[in-house]
Each structure stands twice: as C-alpha cells, then as structure tokens.
C-alpha cells in the first residue's frame, strides 16, 4: 500500500492570516487535502476536491455564494484526475472513492472517475438529497454527483477504533480502510482511517479546520475559520464533542495515529513533504 497526499483545490478567501494564520496579503490560502491510495484492489481516492467539470463550467455546478465567499481557484492542475495522470495512472484505475462528506469542495471530482464506486455514510447522502435551507442547497450540488452509478452507503457499525466507533469492511475495499463517523459539520460527516505500513493516518475532513486545534490542550483557531465552521455546522454539540475527541486522540495517540484536516495548507505541506521524501529512492 502506498499513499499519496494530493491538494485537489485552492480557495483564497479575503482575510489573509485571519483565515490561514500565515498569509501576508489580503487573501488566504486554503487547500483541499485528498489522498490517493495504491492498493491491491486498485486505486482508492479519499475525497476529490474540485473536478474537471467544475473548472469547465463552474456556474452550472457550484453556488455563486460559495464561489465568491471562498474565492475558489479554478485550475486544471489541481484536479485529482490531472495529478493521477501525472503519476502515470488513468481515470479508470480509480476503483473506489471514499468521501468524508458531500460538500462541493470534496465531491467535485467524483464524475471524473467513471469506474469508481463511491462510499459514503447513509446519513450524508440523505442530507445531500434533502438540501433543506440556503446553506444546504449551496453546499450540496447534485450536478456534481447525479451521474454516479455505483454508491455504497453505511450506517454506524460500532466497531471500536481508538475510542471511536468505526465502520469496518467497506464493500470491496481492503480492511485497512475504515470510516469513522464524525458528525457535526454535516449530518453524515466521517473521518477516514487508513492503516498504512508506517502507522495509522486519519483524514478528519472538516471535523476541524486549523492545525492548532489539534495536538494541544489549548486549542486555537483563526477568527475566519472559526466563523466558517460556525456557518457550516449542522449540529454544534456533536461537532464540538467530536473535535474534543479528536484532540484527545492527537494528544494520547500521537505515535499511533497521524491526523489531518481538509483545508489547512501548512498541515498539507508537512504531509506532502514527508510523503515525497518517503517515495524517493534512498541514496546510498
Ligand atoms: Zn470542506
């Protein structure tokens, strides 16, 4: 098993460091942290960022409200498909896509992979189909996924994983890939845990947004990202509870599990650098 960290979308909201904590100018830099996993069952993509069709016709796919608020950068080079081809694979090599949730900045690339089965929590697809209210109809964009033929839905299975309840044995996927329900940001939001040769990775999706929310007993978040998390939450109690549990995991099991969220650019860079150095042939 080999894991690649891909940034499948850039968003540059006005606010600079008030969002990302490091930009010097007026605009911030947020990424869409996705994973490409090479397995014996073919390629598995974890989240998809923005896809080729989002780039070609953004207005037919995305909500103008979120396009402007997040200042989404539509560039072909960020799509998962472009990066997967760069690695020497084809679209049809991607056999499975596991989603943290169905927000527009996670589901945009789904239709670029026609052979892939899409795995998601049942409660998430239900929320996405209901699309109740202004935020829900802006965040869930059926045009991004209405051509998907193969879906697999999951309910909470309750298998233990570091104090969380996991869904194990996802249909057709290797046993090393688990769904960890983490509701709050959306109704069926989940983290995705992967047992890699160098330990567990947990893609926490949008369960938190800022690196300093984890790995410390004194969490800190920028005002911009705190406001965005508040705007997008569907269940505050569940969101804060799950964030607290993730924080405890990051403190108590830092040698067993490495976790990261979707949109923190510095966190992404740390993983991408580490990953690239592991993939380099050793110089001896
Ligand atoms: Zn997101």
Residue 284 Cα to ligand 1 midpoint, Å, equals: 41
Residue 168 Cα to ligand 1 midpoint, Å, equals: 24
Q: Say whether pLDDT at 284 is over 90.
A: no
State how far the Cα of 220 lies from the Cα of 213, in Å rounded to an integer: 5
Residue 131 Cα to ligand 1 midpoint, Å, equals: 17
96: which strand partners? 44, 117
Which band of pLDDT confidence, cut at 50, 70 and 90, is reported for residue 275? confident
Strands of 86-216, DSSP E: 94-98, 117-121, 151-154, 159-161, 164-166, 177-181, 190-196, 199-203
Residue 151 Cα to ligand 1 midpoint, Å, equals: 21
Q: Mean of the pLDDT values across residues 156-174?
A: 91
Strands of 197-276, DSSP E: 199-203, 257-260
Pair of tokens at residue 61: 């796919």
Residue 199 Cα to ligand 1 midpoint, Å, equals: 25
Residue 225 Cα to ligand 1 midpoint, Å, equals: 11
Residue 30 Cα to ligand 1 midpoint, Å, equals: 10
Residue 247 Cα to ligand 1 midpoint, Å, equals: 19
Q: Where are the alpha helices (DSSP H) in 108-153?
A: 122-130, 134-139
Residues in the chain: 284
- Please tell me the predicted confidence (pLDDT) of residue 158: 86
Q: Mean of the pLDDT values across residues 20-30?
A: 96
Residues 80-97: pLDDT tens digits?
999 999 999 999 999 999
Residues 202-246: pLDDT tens digits?
999 999 999 999 999 999 999 999 999 999 999 999 999 999 999
Residue 139 Cα to ligand 1 midpoint, Å, equals: 9
* Rounded (5°) CA angle 206-207-209: 60
Residue 205 Cα to ligand 1 midpoint, Å, equals: 7
Percentage of the chain exceeding pLDDT 90: 94
Residue 105 Cα to ligand 1 midpoint, Å, equals: 5
Q: Say whether pLDDT at 283 is over 50.
A: no
* Residues with Cβ within 8 Å of residue 82, at least 6 apart in sequence: 52, 76
Residue 39 Cα to ligand 1 midpoint, Å, equals: 25
Taking all residues of the chain, what is their mean pLDDT, rounded to a whole number?
95
Residue 103 Cα to ligand 1 midpoint, Å, equals: 6
């Amino acid at each position: 098993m080999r894991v690649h960290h891909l940034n499948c979308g850039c968003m540059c909201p006005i606010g600079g460091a008030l969002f990302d904590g490091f930009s010097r100018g007026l605009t911030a830099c947020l990424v869409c942290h996705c994973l490409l996993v090479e397995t014996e069952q073919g390629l598995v993509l974890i989240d998809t960022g923005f896809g080729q069709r989002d780039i070609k016709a953004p207005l037919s796919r995305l909500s103008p409200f979120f396009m402007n608020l997040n200042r989404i950068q539509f560039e072909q080079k960020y799509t998962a498909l472009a990066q997967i081809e760069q690695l020497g694979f084809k679209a049809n090599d991607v056999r499975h896509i596991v989603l943290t949730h169905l927000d527009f900045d996670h589901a945009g690339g789904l239709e670029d992979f026609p052979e892939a089965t899409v795995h998601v929590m049942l409660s998430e697809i239900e929320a996405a189909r209901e699309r109740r209210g202004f935020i829900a109809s802006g965040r869930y964009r059926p045009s991004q996924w209405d051509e998907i033929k193969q879906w697999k839905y999951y309910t909470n299975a309750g298998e233990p994983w570091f104090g969380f309840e996991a869904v194990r044995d996802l249909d057709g996927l290797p046993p090393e890939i688990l769904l960890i329900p983490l509701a709050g940001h959306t109704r069926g939001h989940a983290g995705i845990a992967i047992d890699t040769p160098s330990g567990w990775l947990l893609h926490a999706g949008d369960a938190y947004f800022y690196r300093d929310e984890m790995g410390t007993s004194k969490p800190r978040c920028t005002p911009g990202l705190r406001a965005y998390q508040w705007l997008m939450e569907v269940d505050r109690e569940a969101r804060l509870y799950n964030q607290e549990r993730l924080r405890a995991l990051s403190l108590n099991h830092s040698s067993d599990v490495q976790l990261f969220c979707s949109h923190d650019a510095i966190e992404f860079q740390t993983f991408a650098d580490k990953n690239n150095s592991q993939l380099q042939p050793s110089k001896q």
